[in-house]
Amino acid sequence: MNTIIQNQRKERDELLARPYLMRKSNTDIGVLLSNPMIKLITGPRRVGKSTYALLMLQGRNFAYLNFDDNLLLSAWDEELVMRTLDEVYAGYEYLLLDEVQNLKDWDVWVSKLYRRGKNLVITGSNAKMLSSEMATVLTGRYLQVEMLPFSLSETMEWKGISTGGDENARQTEMTVIADDYLRNGGYPETIDMRSITRSYLSTLFDSIIWKDVAKRHNIRNITDLNNLALYLLSNFCNPLSANDIAREISMTSVTTTRKFMDYLHEPYLFYYLPRFNNKLKLMKKAASKVYVIDNGFVAAKAFNLSENLGRLLENEVFVELLRMGYKVETTLFYYRSRNDREVDFVTRQGTRIERLIQVCYDMNSPKTEKREVDSLIECAGELRCNNLMIITNNDEREILKDGYCIKVVPFVKFVLGV
């Protein structure tokens, strides 16, 4: 055990020696670490949760256990591990448990550590497992930080976009990066090596399906699971129901389809955005729109015959709204009017509709503009909302119609707030 933990310490120190971009967060790290509650960092695989945790603790005396290590899991002995940590990390103040959900009965052990007064930082890649088990065993005893792939603003920062110099050159550089980001996404390890993006994300996608879904839930029918994942990916941004999916790809049953869809959300791979309705029962019955956590997965795995920049932009806006703190089913929805006109996003604050957002990559065509504007205005009338926005690739202006003022905003400005 001493050898395993010593090797993990070397791994920790090597990771800390590398150059990193400190991720943007709404949470103050100093305040977070001074709080005795458990610090839970969640999000998809390979988005930098471990790095974020290491940078949080940099310069502090902290112990480290990586549960993606089969040697540690196969040799697991709770008391021996704790004794060895005291030897290897004498007097440590914090204990970082990386991908702790891989340990059987991890929540019971974490609860015991918390009662013993250990100051814990935990990372994990399974939304349901972590949230439900933490809520059950450790109700009110943890603070959660959710991480996603790099945002466009973080990507630009990593690329070193300057704030001074030639403004035209800067704008051109930003446009190039934004276009690349739209197509290839924001997974940290691919940003400087776009040549490997497709192979890297294809492998990561398969790993999530097999390791985080099939293995965890003991799924025998891997073919159905994989077919469902690829179908969802190829139909991202479209409204889909379990009934339609089961029929379309010949799934075993609608019940199995729903269950597998839930499983595919757990590792933060897919999200299902409900159609807004004041009546919860009707909202549950309507088809949900499917979104994927990163556009790079679409290029890597989806069966799309042509590039659909409109849907890629819509998916990116959805993920950006998640980064802003909106939550699916509570503060974020889509809406369809009585005349079957749709608005892409409805944001809510408390019981009040806050804003309606339409996404349209290119509004140069008068016909396209009329369709998007008329849909937005009709939905605005039904939902009684005057705060209207259309997010585009590069169009910027205001549209005045029927007493409404619609702000047309380029995606870059929506994200950067400039």
pLDDT band for position 300 (cuts 50, 70, 90): very high
Judged against a pLDDT cut of 90, whether residue 74 lies above it is answered with yes
* Residue 331, Ramachandran bin (φ over 0: left; ψ between -120 and 50: alpha; else beta): alpha
- pLDDT score at 164: 57
pLDDT (tens digit per residue) in 356-413: 999 999 999 999 999 999 999 999 999 999 999 999 999 999 999 999 999 999 999 9
Domain of residue 331 covers 308-418
Instruction: Give a yes or no: residue 216 inside a domain.
Output: no
CATH number at residue 107: 3.40.50.300
Of 146, 170, 189, the one marking the end of a domain is 146
CATH number at residue 380: 3.40.1350
Instruction: Give a yes or no: residue 262 inside a domain.
Output: no
Judged against a pLDDT cut of 70, whether residue 162 lies above it is answered with no
Percent of all residues in the chain with a pLDDT value above 70, rounded to a whole number: 95
pLDDT (tens digit per residue) in 1-38: 999 999 999 999 999 998 887 787 777 888 899 999 99
Instruction: Give a yes or no: residue 65 inside a domain.
Output: yes
Cα–Cα distance measured from residue 21 to residue 2, given in angstroms and rounded to the nearest whole number: 32
pLDDT (tens digit per residue) in 171-185: 889 999 999 999 999
pLDDT band for position 347 (cuts 50, 70, 90): very high
Percent of all residues in the chain with a pLDDT value above 90, rounded to a whole number: 76
Of 112, 131, 146, the one marking the end of a domain is 146
Instruction: Give a yes or no: residue 135 inside a domain.
Output: yes
By DSSP bridging, strand 404-410 and strand 239-240 are unpaired
pLDDT band for position 416 (cuts 50, 70, 90): confident
Instruction: Give a yes or no: residue 260 inside a domain.
Output: no
Task: Please state the domain count of the chain.
Answer: 2
Q: Mean pLDDT throughout 291-316?
A: 90
Cα–Cα distance measured from residue 133 to residue 139, given in angstroms and rounded to the nearest whole number: 9
Of 108, 125, 146, the one marking the end of a domain is 146
Instruction: Give a yes or no: residue 222 inside a domain.
Output: no
Name residues whose C-beta falls within 8 Å of residue 256's C-beta, 6 or more positions apart in sequence.
Answer: 221, 224, 246
- pLDDT score at 251: 95
Fill in the DSSP letter of residue 213. Answer: I
Q: Average pLDDT of the chain?
A: 92
pLDDT (tens digit per residue) in 229-264: 999 999 999 999 999 999 999 998 999 999 999 999
